[in-house]
Structure 1
Amino acid sequence: MASSRAGGGGEDASDSDSDSDNELDLAVEEAIDRLLRMHHPLFMHIMGALERRYEFFRIREDAASKSGHTPLQKCTAAIRQLAYGGPADMFDEYLHIGESSAVEFLLNFCAGVRSIFGDQYLRRPSSPEDCQRLINMHGSVHGFPGMLGA
């Protein structure tokens, strides 16, 4: 099959750009999996839901028309605080987020997640069947059958 690209069958810049973009996307997904201890699609789902529902998680401009923190920065700072349990100012050099901003991001993130996902995912098991299903699922997947009541 003949190539429809000018110049014959050689690669053009768009092919190498596409390969670079795919490698970058994979690197970002791996970094999120490793650094946030969360799968990339789950992270993006949570961040998107927060951004759609709350103005706080959208990029805003300050009085000097300077862009504020991105939803990615806000959610990353909050999840890292939850995952690693470190002080709020530990993100200053990494994400350029000060302590008071990191605390604000964490509080808004937790409130938003509870509001959006609470009814479906953050409820207590309501029956012995719910408990047994959770024990079976997590015990077989993660190998820690004593997760409930710990």
Structure 2
Amino acid sequence: MYTEEDFKRRFQMRRHVFERLLRDVQQVNPYFRQKRDRAGRHGFSPHQKVTVALRMMAYGSLADSMDETYGMSEFTCLDTLEQFCDTIVQVYKDEYLREPNQEHLNRLIRKAEDSGFPGMIGSLDCMH
């Protein structure tokens, strides 16, 4: 639907990153697999659920504002966001969400100092 440039501008990430996230969360959490409701209609697609979660996080969108664009209720949006965050932590914790060791910390400190931001690491815990 989107060119690579349009996709990156609209989603703030490359398509292959989005597709990896989508694939990973689908494999780990059945919530992100499309199901049928009791009337036999298809529920929200995995693409819709991941898109809603990412948009809420990236832009600080309110859950009830997603209703107009994606047709999801506030409750479903909040549930989707919670499921997405829990799944991302579960999938990527060991690879990306670990505490830095001393070697990594020293590299970050040097990089910050070289960029003109001495003491940056000490202020990270004060960021929102």
TM-score (norm 1): 0.71
Give the 3 Å change call, closer, same or farther, for CA 139–111 of structure 1 in structure 2: farther
Amino acid aligned to 1:42: V
Q: Residue 35 of structure 1: CA displacement?
A: 2.6
Contact 1:59-1:70 within 8 A present in 2 as well:
yes
Give the 3 Å change call, closer, same or farther, for CA 136–94 of structure 1 in structure 2: farther
Amino acid aligned to 1:43: F
CA radius of gyration, larger in: 1
In the alignment, the residues of structure 2 paired with residue 84 and residue 139 of structure 1 have an alpha-carbon distance, to the nearest angstrom, of 30
In the alignment, the residues of structure 1 paired with residue 34 and residue 67 of structure 2 have an alpha-carbon distance, to the nearest angstrom, of 19
Higher RCO (C-alpha under 8 Å, 6+ residues apart): 2
Alignment of 1:118 with 2:93, yes or no, is: yes
- Give the RMSD, CA atoms, in angstroms: 2.4
Aligned to 2:20: 45
Q: Residue 97 of structure 1: CA displacement?
A: 1.4
Amino acid aligned to 2:107: R
In the alignment, the residues of structure 1 paired with residue 81 and residue 28 of structure 2 have an alpha-carbon distance, to the nearest angstrom, of 16
**Structure 2 unaligned blocks of 5 or more:** none
**Structure 1 unaligned blocks of 5 or more:** 1-23
Alignment of 1:133 with 2:78, yes or no, is: no
Amino acid aligned to 2:37: D
Amino acid aligned to 1:78: A
SS in 1 for 2:72: coil
In the alignment, the residues of structure 2 paired with residue 144 and residue 41 of structure 1 have an alpha-carbon distance, to the nearest angstrom, of 33
In the alignment, the residues of structure 2 paired with residue 144 and residue 57 of structure 1 have an alpha-carbon distance, to the nearest angstrom, of 43
Aligned pairs for 1:43-82 (under 5 A) are 43-82=18-57
Q: Residue 54 of structure 1: CA displacement?
A: 1.3
SS in 2 for 1:67: coil
Q: Residue 135 of structure 1: CA displacement?
A: 5.2
Contact 1:136-1:145 within 8 A present in 2 as well:
no
